[in-house]
A and B are shown apart, each in its own frame.
Chain A
Amino acid sequence: ETGVTQSPTHLIKTRGQQVTLRCSSQSGHNTVSWYQQALGQGPQFIFQYYREEENGRGNFPPRFSGLQFPNYSSELNVNALELDDSALYLCASSWTGGYTFGSGTRLTVV
């Protein structure tokens, strides 16, 4: 069922660096959300974009930012990476009453 594609699948970065994760969602799904899933935890809401505007944000610092583009793709940018940013990052596109998740990007910060 999933029509959400994330890239890359795995990524290793050094503390202090910046990273950009990408997501391509299903055509017509104009809402995209990003979640962070630390090892052994449930996903935590980072933020949501609707029609290219941020439309809700979880308890994450400003160094987590995003963009949504007219072609239903989106980006998650994280500046000044910290070791605790190591996690699986999930993108989800949504329509009325439902959410479709991508397979995620596994980010490791060393």
Chain B
Amino acid sequence: AQSVTQLDSQVPVFEEAPVELRCNYSSSVSVYLFWYVQYPNQGLQLLLKYLSGSTLVKGINGFEAEFNKSQTSFHLRKPSVHISDTAEYFCAVSDLRGTASKLTFGTGTRLQVML
């Protein structure tokens, strides 16, 4: 079984400031890791994913995340946020069972960018 913990339910930050959204996971097997963004009344949009290789992953809209296997973490970062980054962010894991895999999500972090 897998689980995902997003330690912060809300993160307020001023525009142009850096931000880090924290994600820790638990799994007995190797996993894929994902970050999704959800704008109000919309579905999920993929920001970035870690499948293998380099532990620093770059995504869309200037976001990046670092996979840390020893700490079982996959924190999301952006060096300078914009007001348009205000949204709900979900971290998710999937095991490597190929076609039978599923995503397990955290409870989300609400990023509120202030002027």
Contacts and interface: CB of A to CB of B under 8 A. Distances in A.
Contact of B51 (A42, A94, A97, A104): A97
Question: What is the size category of the interface that chain A forms with chain B?
Answer: 20 to 34
Nearest to A47: B102
Interface stretch (A48-56, A69-77, A78-86): A48-56
Given A1-B46, A98-B46, A45 B51 contact: no
Contacts of A94: 99, 101
A99 interface: yes
A45 B46 contact: no
Given A50-B99, A97-B32, A90 B104 contact: no
Interface of A: 1-2, 6, 30-31, 33, 35, 40-45, 48, 50, 55-56, 58, 90, 92, 94, 96-104, 106
